[in-house]
């Protein structure tokens, strides 16, 4: 159930961030849900592989190269999905930053709510 809630929240965030950023376009809510699902899949399977391959760059840049990996995953998602458009690397970087901040906030709220429920029982 939490996975569905996270995907729905991510889809809403994708739609909201695309509405705010002029360099990112999403056709409709269905496309934003597909984007959220594809991003979840790519972040689960492709991102760890990319991080492993680029460890020297990541160490040399003190972790800043991870932002480039995130932007690359956004651009790859743009390539895979019609109806989702990111105009450049910089828009992808900003989009990935805002999306990660929103999902991180959701995770913290969810963690806090779960800890309060566990404490009451």
Cα distances from 86 to residues 6, 59, 69, 101, 111, in angstroms, run: 22, 28, 15, 18, 31
Q: How do residues 42-55 score in pLDDT, each as one tens digit?
A: 999 999 999 999 99
**Bridge partners, residue 25, by sequence:** 85
- The pLDDT of residue 116: 74
Rg (CA), the chain: 16
For residues 66 and 84, what is the distance between their CA atoms, to the nearest angstrom?
A: 22
Determine the Cα angle at 71 with ends 55 and 18, to 5°: 160
Q: How many domains does the chain have?
A: 1
Q: Where in the sequence is the domain holding 81, given as residue range(s)?
A: 2-120
Residues with Cβ < 8 Å from 26, sequence gap 6 or more? 14, 15, 18, 32, 35, 83, 84, 85
- The answer to whether the pTM exceeds 0.75 is yes
SS3 84: strand
- The pLDDT of residue 79: 96
- The pLDDT of residue 121: 54
Joined tokens for residue 43: 């972040």
Q: What tens-digit pLDDT sequence spans the chain (121 residues)?
A: 788 999 999 999 999 999 999 999 999 999 999 999 999 999 999 999 999 999 999 999 999 999 999 999 999 999 999 999 999 999 999 999 999 999 999 989 888 887 776 655 5
């Amino acid at each position: 159930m939490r996975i569905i809630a996270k995907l729905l929240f991510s889809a809403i965030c994708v739609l909201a961030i695309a509405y705010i950023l002029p360099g990112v376009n999403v056709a409709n809510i269905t496309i934003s849900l597909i984007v959220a699902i594809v991003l979840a899949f790519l972040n689960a399977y492709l991102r760890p592989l990319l991080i492993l391959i680029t460890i020297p760059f990541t160490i040399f840049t003190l972790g800043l190269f991870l932002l480039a990996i995130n932007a690359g995953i956004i651009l790859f998602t743009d390539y895979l999905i019609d109806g989702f458009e990111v105009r450049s690397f910089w828009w992808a970087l900003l989009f990935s930053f805002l999306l990660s901040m929103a999902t991180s906030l959701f995770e913290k709220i969810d963690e806090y709510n779960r800890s309060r429920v566990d404490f009451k029982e």
